[in-house]
Structure 1
Amino acid sequence: MRIRSRLLLLLIATAAVPTLAMGLLAWRDAERALGEAVAEQYRRSARAEAEHASTYVLSLATELGSALLHLDPEKLGPAEAQEFLARVFLRRDGIALVGLFDGQGRMTASVFVDDLEAFARQEPQFRRHDTVAAEEVEDFRRRAAELLSRVPAGRAYAISAPYLTAVRQRPAVVVVALGPRGGAGGLAAELGLKELAQRLTASGEGSERVFLLDGEGRLLLSGDPERERRREAFAARLPGAPGAQRTGQADYEEEGRTWLAAYSPVPELDWVAVVARPREAALAPLHALARNTFGVLGLTLVGVLVLALLLARAMARPIARLAGGARELARGNLGHRISLSRRDELGDLARTFNDMGHALEVAHRELLGFNEQLQNQVEERTRELQKTQAQLSRSQRLAAMGDLAAGMAHEMNNPLAAILGNVQLLLMDLPEEDPSRRMLSAVLQQAQRIANIVRELQLLVERQHFGRTPLDLHKMLQRVLDARGADLSAAGVRVTCEFYPGEVKVLGDQQALSDVFGRLLGNALNALKDRPERNLTLVTQRVDAQMVKVEIRDTGRGIPREHLERIFNPFFTTKQQWSGKGLSLAVCHRVIEDHGGTITLQSDQGVGTTVTLMLPTAPIPPPLV
Structure 2
Amino acid sequence: ATGKPVVSDLITGVLSGKPTIILAYPVRDPADRVVGAVGIGLNLARLQTLFSSIPLPEGSVVTLTDAQSRVLARSREAERYIGTVVQSTPSPIRDVPATQTLAGVDGIRRFFGNAIVDRGPWLLSVGIPTSVAAARIAPLWRRNLAIALSAIAAIMIVSLWFAHLLSGGLGRLRSSVRQIADGDLSPPSKSKVPNLELAQLQDGFITMAANLREAHQALDHQIEQERRMRETLQSLQRQVVRQERLAAVGVLVSGVAHELNNPLQAILGTVELLERDNGLRPEVREEIAFIKTQSGRAREIIRNLSRFSSQQTGPPALVDLRDVVAEVVQLRQRDLDASSIVLEVDVSALRKVYANFTEVEQVTLNFVINAQQSIEATGRNRGRILIKLFDVGKKVRLEVHDDGPGVTPEDEPKLFQPFFTTKPVGKGTGLGLSVSYGIIESYGGSIGHRGNDWGGATFFFELPIIDPASVPPAPSSSGTSTDDPAPVLQRSISPRI
TM range (shorter): 0.3 to 0.5
- Higher helix fraction: Structure 1 or Structure 2? 1
* TM-score for the superposition, normalised by structure 2: 0.39
Could you state the TM-score of these two structures normalised by the residue count of structure 1?
0.32
Q: Which has the larger radius of gyration?
A: 2
Higher relative contact order (CA 8 A, sep 6+): 2
